[in-house]
Structure 1
């Protein structure tokens, strides 16, 4: 096999058409996952009866099973449930009209939510509980104390882990090939299929993923420095 540097360049630019899919999948799953993770983390942090054990089971199950398994369970589970309910309720649609990428959004968000809940919970636990008690002593409500005192410090402590999770979800989006959704990795395979230059095509994909990862690390580093100055009372 002879390496073709020219095709690496050709493939590199061809893969940019699939870049929006990868970025949107990553952004949506992390954003929705952050909301889910925050709720789950607070439920476990305050040890809310009934909800606490349910939240723990959710986290343990998701973290204990592969991301691809979540994707397939969501896809086959929801399509089966929808198709069973259609004749029962007289709906005029079937699961086949649902865009495949929507199943990926749901699956990746649920996965991200479980991992983010642990990241956020570890950040909450890093904040001295005495600060929360001090906030109560001056008449602050729990939501106000969390927003003004606890969350900024917890976020500062969690930035490195949040960055790692964002990178992990970026790389995890390559699993959408299982649903025939064309992301960067799937596009690399399509580009290479015409002349069997898979090695060159995947090199191009690796360069793009590396560049995105490097960009996330740089941005998170700047954000971490900025938020640390804020929490220490410095000038932002």
Structure 2
């Protein structure tokens, strides 16, 4: 078999049209996953009665099961729940109105939430307890101390792990093709079917993912340098 370098370039250009969908899935999943993860991390750290056990069970279950399984459970289970409620309550809304990408958003956000919960929790625990005690001494409430003092420092400490989670969700977004969402992986298959050059098409997809990953790493490096400047007490 002869490698068609020209087709790799052609496929790469065609795959760019699927990049916005891949990035949208990644950004939405990480954003809502971060919100979920932050809430879960705080609940677990402060051991909120009853909810603490639910939060721990959520993290354990999601981290202990494959990402693809979460997507399939949401894809097949959510319509059953929605349609059952709609029939019981007389709603006109049906699960068929949900766009396919909506299942990916929900599933991947739930998945990201469990992993980011541990990232945020480790970041919060890395902050010196004396700082929150000092916040209490000047009259701050726990939410104020968390928002103004603890969480900003926790985010700085967690930045490398947050970057890894973002890259992980970027690569995990390829699973969205199982629910008919045309992201980069699905687009590579579509492009390849024109002349059965799957190898070249997947090489092009790999280069595209690689390029986006490098970009994320570079942005993370710049943020880390910026944070370190503030940590030294000045801005250049």
TM-score by length of 2: 0.97
Alpha-carbon distance in structure 1 between the residues aligned to 2:214 and 2:133:
40
Separation in 2, partners of 1:138, 1:97 = 52
Q: What pairs with 1:1-236 in structure 2 (closer than 5 Å)?
A: 1-235=1-235
8 A contact 1:188–1:201 mirrored in 2? yes
Aligned length: 236
- How far apart are the structure 2 equivalents of 1:233 and 1:41? 29
The verdict on how the C-alpha distance between 1:142 and 1:233 changes in structure 2, with shifts beyond 3 A counting, is farther
Q: Which moved more, 1:148-157 or 1:108-117?
A: 148-157
Change in 2 beyond 3 A, CA 1:186/1:172: same
Once the 2 structures are TM-superposed, how far is the Cα of residue 194 of structure 1 from its aligned partner? Answer: 1.3
Q: Secondary structure at the match of 1:139?
A: coil
1:75 and 1:103 in contact (8 A); partners too? yes
**Unaligned 5+ residue runs, structure 2?**
none
Q: 1:228 to 1:45 in 2, by over 3 A?
A: farther
Cα RMSD (Å): 1.1
Alignment deviations for residues 174-226 of structure 1 (CA, whole Å, 9 cap, x no partner): 00111011000100000001100000000000000000000000001111121
Between the aligned partners of 2:24 and 2:35, the Cα distance in structure 1 is: 17
For structure 1, which segment, 42-51 or 22-31, has the greater mean C-alpha deviation from structure 2 after superposition?
Answer: 42-51
> What displacement does 1:153 show?
1.5
Structure 1 runs, 4 residues or longer, greater than 3 Å off: none
Partners of 1:38 and 1:77 in 2: CA distance: 26
TM-score, L = length of structure 1? 0.97
Give the CA deviation at 1:98. Answer: 1.1
Q: Distance in 1 between matches of 2:230 and 2:46?
A: 26
Structure 2 distance, partners of 1:114, 1:42, is 13
Local SS of the residue matching 1:49? coil
Q: Aligned partners of 2:147 and 2:228: how far apart in 1? A: 16
- Looking at structure 2, the residues matched to 187 and 84 of structure 1 have their Cα atoms a distance apart, in angstroms, of 34
Q: Partner of 2:92: helix, strand, or coil?
A: coil
* Deviation at residue 134 of structure 1 after TM alignment: 1.3
